[in-house]
Amino acid sequence: MAKFHKRSCTIRQLEILLAVYETGSVTRASEQLHLTQPTISTQLKKLADSVGTPLWIQSGRQISFTESGKAVAKGAMEMMACIDRLDMRLQAIQGLTAGQLKLAVVTTAKYFIPHLIGQFCEQFPQIEVDFRVGNRQSIVKQVDSVDEDFWVFSHPPEHEHLETYEFLPNRLFAIGPQNHPLSQRKKIPFEEFAREPILMREPGSGTRYAIENFLKERFSQLNVRMTIESNEAIRHSVMSGLGVSILSEHTLTFGGHTGLSLLDVEGLPIHTRWYLVRNKNRPMSPVAEKLLEFVGKRNTQELTLQLEGF
């Protein structure tokens, strides 16, 4: 009969099971936990043996969890949340000498968040930061969980359980290759820019979401030549003359802009803002509180694009 033998299971095995359950794949779980795939498989097998019933069924690369597997994953989730709460209580008792900060940020924020966090960690060197990156759609899907202290993205959804803190402007600029004919012109009519071949971020990206909102307001369309799932790849494709694009200033400030020019298109840049977002159901840890205070006091000038340097 299936039974959860608490003496023969380890927290690590439950953590591994949870990672496979959440990512739907042993490969992605091994990347997330920095473990090899054989280690993951061995630990999962030990867990299934000690529970005494199959926890999942694998056909090819597809993994589907059995009813027992889902029950163990749910239990593991509750246990991890409990451990997080315990960790926060301990942090509160010890003061801010140590602790963990869990952040998940959209791909475009990965350029400037490390600079902010770097300065924060200089003040609090004992803090351990757990930093994940995904596009806007994947971050928005997580906002019901209590796994992160903060998510960073623009256009946060409005939910009762979310608290949002606006903290930095984000401008989306039109860019082209350095020698593009439009690069010498001023006040290029938007419709003329829109006829150029455009390299666009993937559906689900916040950058694309902002551009599509802008287009809706203007009843305009773009001549999308290619959809590319990475800001870096877009920058390089623009440099190599494949087309023009609209990207966040932070991809240019920190990703580099050699070989690119800013295009002076009417109506651009698109103005959006970055938000730190948290689930109110997760208790605010002392580290999280300090981060909010730190971000509120920061002069964010060096995180924004200096146009004269372009």
Q: Give the one residue of 91, 154, 279, 285 binding ligand PGA; rule: CB under 6 A.
A: 154
| Residues 6 or more apart in contact with residue 78 via CB below 8 angstroms | none
Output 110 or 257, the one with its CB closest to ligand PGA. 110
Amino acid at 67: E
The site that binds ligand PGA (CB under 6 A) totals a number of residues, namely: 13
Confirm if 190 and 267 have CB atoms less than 8 A apart: yes
Q: Give the one residue of 13, 91, 108, 253 binding ligand PGA; rule: CB under 6 A.
A: 108
153 contacts ligand PGA (rule: CB under 6 A): yes
Cis omega (within 30 of 0) for bond into 269 = yes
Helix (H, G, I), strand (E, B) or coil at 129: strand
Q: Give the one residue of 13, 30, 205, 279 binding ligand PGA; rule: CB under 6 A.
A: 205
Query: Using CA atoms, how far apart are residues 228 and 107, in angstroms rounded to an integer?
Result: 13
Confirm if 196 and 244 have CB atoms less than 8 A apart: yes
CA 252 to chain centroid? 18
Q: Give the one residue of 13, 43, 91, 135 binding ligand PGA; rule: CB under 6 A.
A: 135
Query: Using CA atoms, how far apart are residues 31 and 16, in angstroms rounded to an integer?
Result: 11
Stretch that binds ligand PGA, among 20-28, 67-75, 100-108, 253-261 (CB under 6 A): 100-108
Output 16 or 200, the one with its CB closest to ligand PGA. 200
Stretch that binds ligand PGA, among 26-34, 46-54, 62-70, 201-209 (CB under 6 A): 201-209
CB of 253 to ligand PGA, least distance (A): 14
CB of 249 to ligand PGA, least distance (A): 11
Q: Which two tokens stand for residue 31?
A: 């990347």
Stretch that binds ligand PGA, among 12-20, 123-131, 198-206, 217-225 (CB under 6 A): 198-206
Q: Give the one residue of 171, 180, 201, 282 binding ligand PGA; rule: CB under 6 A.
A: 201
Label the pairing between strands 223-228 and 197-201.
parallel
Q: Considering only residues 253-292, where is the footprint of ligand PGA by CB under 6 A? A: 272
| Residues 6 or more apart in contact with residue 238 via CB below 8 angstroms | 175, 176, 177, 199, 244, 245, 260
206 contacts ligand PGA (rule: CB under 6 A): yes
Confirm if 168 and 249 have CB atoms less than 8 A apart: no
What residues line the site for ligand PGA (CB under 6 A)? 106-108, 135-136, 153-154, 201, 205-207, 210, 272
